[in-house]
Structure 1
Amino acid sequence: MNLLPQIQLLSQYNRWMNQKVYQAASGLNEDVLIADKGAFFGSMLGTLNHILVADIIWLKRFSTHPTHHPILDSIRQTPQPKALNQILYSHFYELTNARHDLDELIILWCQELAETDLDVKLTYQSMKGETGIREFGSLVLHFFNHQSHHRGQVTTLLSQAGVDVGVTDLLVIIPNFAETVKTG
């Protein structure tokens, strides 16, 4: 199995889930969004900002790939976040717009990737200044796994606030060939 179609699927899942989470959170008042609930990044707004911060950090690292994907030019120009708990957007509406734009960029970038890109060993610096050299494809998988991990925390916080996000399984967007057999 080639890894690239799986990465492209994960980019679509990322967008789909972010739309669901942000839609669910949009009905909450600001006090609920900023309330420290003891999550890793305190509040829903803090956790959603963290996911965006981490995505920017990783995309900036990915932009150093030798293929130099032009679609990441805007990320190259984006200021480097200073901390993992940095609040880039204190207003939910602004955060929602930034998330939407970044999700679209991620999808376009994943469509630009080639299977050969995934085998490259990418050298990067951690937020602590430590050097890492890892297989690019595995780093991209980490990128999507990290998003799912923290979105899971947000869905828990939403549930505690009485908001049901609905089905969150990746399975929902994986093509079901049984449906093709029924209609074919």
Structure 2
Amino acid sequence: MKLQQHFKLMATYNEWMNAQVYDTASKLSTTELAEERGAYFGSIFGTLNHIVAADTLWLKRFASHPSSTTTLAVMVPLPTPTRLDQIMFDDLEGLKAHRQWLDSVIINWIAALTDDDLDTVLNYQNTKGVASTRSYSSLIVHFFNHQTHHRGQVSTLFSQAGTDIGVTDLLALIPCED
């Protein structure tokens, strides 16, 4: 599988898992979503907001890459999160709608990338203003891995709340080869 095809699979998995996460979250009360559960970002709601904040930061960085200036132009005018624990939306419906929009942006961005695009670097600054130059494709791997990491935490938090998210394995989306 070529790298670009792998990223398409990851974008599809990201969208599929986020739909499951938000469907599961909608079964809980606002109080249950906001309950402090000892996670990095406190609650289910805090963790979901963190994923959106981090995705926004990375997509805005990726928007500066020559291959992505068109597909990620919609990210440029969005406010840049100032903290990784920033509450981007204070209600689940607003957060869910934005998450769905972000997932469509990610799908379109990844679909437009070529293998040649992925064999370049990205120059960016982290949240502390420190400049960095890294492999574009490796940063995209980090982007998807970060989402999976925190969705895994959310899955555990759902379990603590007595709610089952269902199948979460990427394997569910990998086609069988004959």
Q: Which runs of 5+ in 1 are unaligned?
A: 179-184
1:66-145 alignment, distance < 5 Å: 66-145=66-145
Q: Taking every aligned residue pair, what percent have the same amino acid on both sides?
A: 48
Tell me the TM-score normalized by structure 2: 0.97
Q: Which has the higher helix share?
A: 1
Kept in 1, the 8 Å contact 2:67–2:113? The answer is no
Q: Look up the match of 2:146.
A: 146
Shift of 1:44: 0.4
Kept in 1, the 8 Å contact 2:4–2:114? The answer is yes
Question: Which secondary structure does the structure 1 equivalent of 2:67 belong to?
Answer: coil
Q: Does 1:41 align with 2:41?
A: yes
1:42-63 Cα deviation digits (max 9, x unpaired): 0000000000000000000000
Kept in 2, the 8 Å contact 1:69–1:109? The answer is no
Shift of 1:68: 3.9
Q: Look up the match of 2:52.
A: 52
1:150-161 alignment, distance < 5 Å: 150-161=150-161
What code does the residue aligned with 1:46 have? G
Q: Which runs of 4+ in 1 moved over 2 A?
A: none
Q: Look up the match of 1:62.
A: 62
Kept in 1, the 8 Å contact 2:68–2:109? The answer is no
Kept in 2, the 8 Å contact 1:71–1:108? The answer is yes
Aligned pairs, how many?
Answer: 178
Q: For the aligned residues, what is the CA RMSD?
A: 0.9
Tell me the TM-score normalized by structure 1: 0.94
Shift of 1:74: 1.0
Shift of 1:130: 1.1
